[in-house]
Amino acid sequence: MLVNCVAYENGRKVADIPVEQVSEWLKRPEAFVWVAMKDPAPEELEVMAQEFDLHPLAVDDAKNGHQRPKIEEYGESLFTVLQIIELKGDDIHVAEVSIFVGPNYVLSVRRGTENGFVAVRERSEREPHLLKNGAGFVFYAIMDNVVDRYFPVVDALEVELEELEEQIFADDSPRESIRELYQLKHKLMVMRHAVEPLIEVTHKLYGGRVPGVCVGTQDYFRDVHDHLLRVSQQLDGLRDMVITALSVNLSMIAMGTGEITKRLAAYGALVAVPTLIAGVYGMNFKHMPELDAVWGYPVTLAVMVGIDAVLFRGFRKSGWL
């Protein structure tokens, strides 16, 4: 689906243009064209491929989706795939945007998300002095927008871990803790797969030999790179703590078992010792003087209770109960 197709000149919007005129506008040296698509059909992409003269391998990737994040140079133009991460309830949802950038065009193809780049376009149109930088700046603005969406997700995952930590040390439902730690680890992996591949490639947009379309906006791409490093550092820290939390949880479980065994032993003793005494006085020996005494029964009961009281206090003190 075509979302927008606009021609700009000198940092200002000139006109919404029909798709078929794109190749016309690309011939004007001063203009650039910014097209946004959403979940396009293959045929729509084919039309774009002709208008913009895109490389078939890149078009294939944009058609198929489910790519690794990457930035590839095809001659003077760049083909970029970014993953958009969104929180849906407790799960994270991965959408994708493919961006074709040439000296005077930007084509963004978004898949699987409702949240587009209207805000980016509006902000850019409000700042013509920046938009004058052309396709490179638009490319930066979209990337920056995608990367900035990572932060609230990582922050949410950090909160999730903190809640899990509480739960673990409160020894509350360890079964749930394990499952949620496992799922958190999985989410971190998904995010890492979105972020890590970008770090290396964004580096090439401002350091060393920079692709033509990024020349003049290197400082901006370094900023994106820095943001990615920040997300990545948070993810690494989270991952490290999740692994530790998993092993800590195991320790808590093992300790729990030890404590149950302790209690089992203690309560067992509280029952077994009086049982032994009862057994003794249940023996059928003829000559057991205590049996004939009037005080025999009550004293025996008292002794049982007394022993248990002593044991109970002992167990309490040593922490077995």
Question: In the window 95-154, what residues touch its own copies (CB under 8 A)?
Answer: none
The helix (run of H) or strand (run of E) holding residue 89 is: none
Q: Considering only 39-47, 84-92, 121-129, 247-255, which stretch makes contact with its own copies by CB under 8 A?
A: 247-255
170 near its own copies, rule: CB under 8 A: no
CB-based contacts of 261: which residues, under 8 Å, 6+ apart? none
64 near its own copies, rule: CB under 8 A: no
Question: Nearest approach, Cβ of 238 to its own copies (angstroms)?
Answer: 9
**Alpha helices by DSSP H, the chain:** 22-26, 42-52, 56-64, 118-126, 128-131, 135-148, 150-169, 174-203, 218-281, 289-292, 296-317
2 near its own copies, rule: CB under 8 A: no
Q: How far apart are CA 267 and CA 249, in angstroms?
A: 27
Q: How far apart are CA 86 and CA 4, in angstroms?
A: 23
Q: Which is nearer to its own copies, 260 or 309 (CB)?
A: 260
Q: Which is nearer to its own copies, 44 or 158 (CB)?
A: 158
Half-sphere exposure for 7 (CA within 13 Å, toward CB): 19
Footprint of its own copies on residues 186-225 (CB under 8 A)?
A: 186, 189, 193, 197, 219-220, 222-223
- Cα–Cα separations (whole angstroms), residue 65 to 45, 99, 112: 12, 12, 10
Q: Which is nearer to its own copies, 24 or 306 (CB)?
A: 306
Question: Nearest approach, Cβ of 19 to its own copies (angstroms)?
Answer: 26
Tell which one of 14, 246, 307, 321 touches its own copies (CB under 8 A).
246
CB-based contacts of 149: which residues, under 8 Å, 6+ apart? 84, 85, 86, 115
Q: Which is nearer to its own copies, 216 or 237 (CB)?
A: 237
251 near its own copies, rule: CB under 8 A: yes
Question: Nearest approach, Cβ of 289 to its own copies (angstroms)?
Answer: 8
Judge residue 102's burial from the number of C-beta atoms within 10 Å of its C-beta, 0-12 exposed, 13-18 middle, 19 or more buried. Answer: buried
Footprint of its own copies on residues 277-316 (CB under 8 A)?
A: 278-288, 290-294, 296-297, 300-301, 304
Question: Site for its own copies (CB under 8 A): how many residues?
Answer: 83
Q: Which is nearer to its own copies, 88 or 287 (CB)?
A: 287
